[in-house]
Structures are given as C-alpha cells and as structure tokens.
Chain A
C-alpha cells in the first residue's frame, strides 16, 4: 500500500484558471466592467499621467522642521519672561504634535473598521486598545483646558493630577 496518495489532497492551482463560457448569452458583468473601464477608468488614468508628466519636470521638496528643545516652564527662574515665552512656544508645538498623534490613531482605527466590516470589534482589538490609551492620555493631559490653553494651565492641571494620585495612595 502506498503511504502517500498525492490526489487525496491536491495542491491548489497556481494561477486562476480561465473560466470557460458554457452559454451563448453575453456576460453582463463583463460588459459592465468593460464599459466602466473605457468610459471612466481609462480617461482618468490618461489625464493623471499627463498631469504627472507635466509636473514631474520640475520636482522640488518640502521638509518637516526640527525644533531644538528649550528649558521647560518648570526649569525657568521666576520673573524670566523670555524663558516663559520659549517654554510656552515649545508647549504649543508639543500640543500640536499630540493632536496629530491622536488624529493618526483615529485614522488607523477608521481604516481597520473599514477593512473588517461588521466584525471590527473582534478583529481590530489592537487598534482599539491603542486608540483607547492614546485618547485617555490626551484627555488626562490636555482635557478641559479650553480655548485659552497655556503651558502654565497645563502645568497646574498636572499638579492637580499628582495631588489626586497622592491622596489616593
């Protein structure tokens, strides 16, 4: 008796087999796809290629600016308004960066939900967890500061947080 029967578990075909037409009727799906291709897809692609060829002649770049770190509000001597100003600007830049981070996490979760469809609660648990952490952290740090948010007010909020932690512990 052979110990290996290759036909029992056949390998899947490496290429999609060409479907053979069994009826004489025209295939409406094929007609529809060809219609869409010639009326919408092809003109749009050609237009895009033309525009890209025009634009591609003079390429130029833009960069993300790297800012140096300056001493924080906690490291400023009292009455040194220059130090206050630099710390405030740095805080504002960090605030913007944190907002963008939250947006990126939202984008990831949205993409995951679009991919998975109705079963997103189960399949994108990683993204859900990450977004949850990031949103909670953002809320804890910048939560109810309001429209006149400032580095000083954020520092005071942090002080309140630390006092509460101390009281709980």
Chain B
C-alpha cells in the first residue's frame, strides 16, 4: 500500500512536470503544486522590465534634505565666496619683528585679515578689557574692605559705648519729678 502511494505521487509529479505538455495549464493558479514557468529569452533595448517597486514613502525625507541643503547653501555659498576673495586678494599678514620705537596698534597682533577687522571694529583693545576687569576687582576689593571695617567698628562701638552708634534716646533729665523722694519723710 505504501509502495502504491509512492508510485502514485511519483506518477503525478511526472505528469505535472511533463515537458511535452503546455507550459501554463488553466488550473495551475489554484493548485498548490510547484509551477514551472518557462523563461522566455527576450533581449530588451532598454534597462529591462519596468518594475513597480513597493517601498515606504521617501517624500518627507527627501524634502527635508532638499530644504536643508537649500537653506545652508543660501548663506553658505556667499560666505564661502567672500572668504575665498578675502584670502586671495587681501591675504594674510606676515610675521615681522617690532621695529624700533614703533608701538603697533592692538589689531596688528593678529594674522588673518578678518580677525584683524573684527579686533579693530567690533572688539575692545585687550588692554582696555584688562583695565575694565581690574576696575571691577578694585571695586569689589573696596566693598570687601568696607564691610570688614564696618564689622570692626560695630564691635568697638558696642563694647566701648562712646561712639555715635548704639546710642538709645532717653528722656530729658529735667523732666524727672524728684518730689516723691525729695524729703526723707515721704
């Protein structure tokens, strides 16, 4: 019986894979057997068969990258051109020894022309910045000294009592009525 079923399935397989039969029989779409598709030898003049490739939408990603490129290059390209022209036509400074008796201006200590321009027009002289910071430090130092001095003075005035601080107003002595204790017999 087993041998019969094996022979039967072998016969069915042979019948299906028969090369003398037609390639696409009618009932093959619904039959669960393996189909043998015939490969037709076709030579295309173009890039091959047009395929509709199903994939998720890349519209948003491409739109984002396009806009990113656009907005960075909108100012990026003029800035790059400007910097190129500055480097080609104006060029960087050369290092030299400070000549005798010459005091260079504070922007003449930088090499690149754009740095020099920024130092000359936008920023303050570094010596001026230094002096500003020194002024702040001096003010804070004076404040600290004053505070310490005030604490010292408070201590002295409280202890000794002969200074202007920590004086409390009392009544005038002439207003005191000594009459109840004026004579010893009251």
Contact = CB atoms under 8 A, between A and B. Distances in A.
Interface of A: 51, 54-55, 58-66, 79-82, 85-86, 89
B117 interface: no
B108 A54 contact: no
B88, B111, B133, B137: residue with the most chain A Cβ atoms closer than 10 Å = B137
A56 B108 CA distance: 18
Interface in B43-101: 88-91, 93-98
A52 to B, nearest CB: 9
B111 A62 contact: yes
B88 A61 contact: no
25 contacts: A51-B88, A55-B88, A55-B90, A55-B91, A58-B91, A61-B96, A61-B108, A62-B94, A62-B110, A63-B95, A63-B98, A63-B108, A64-B95, A64-B98, A64-B109, A65-B109, A66-B98, A79-B141, A81-B137, A81-B141, A82-B134, A82-B137, A85-B134, A85-B137, A89-B130
User: What class of interface size applies to chain B in its complex with A?
Assistant: 20 to 34
Interface of B: 88-91, 93-98, 104, 108-111, 116, 130, 133-134, 137-138, 140-141, 145
Contacts of B137: 81-82, 85
A54 B98 CA distance: 25
A63 B110 CA distance: 8
Contacts of B91: 54-55, 58
B88 A60 contact: no
B3 to A, nearest CB: 77
Contacts of B140: 81
B124 to A, nearest CB: 16
A51 B133 CA distance: 43
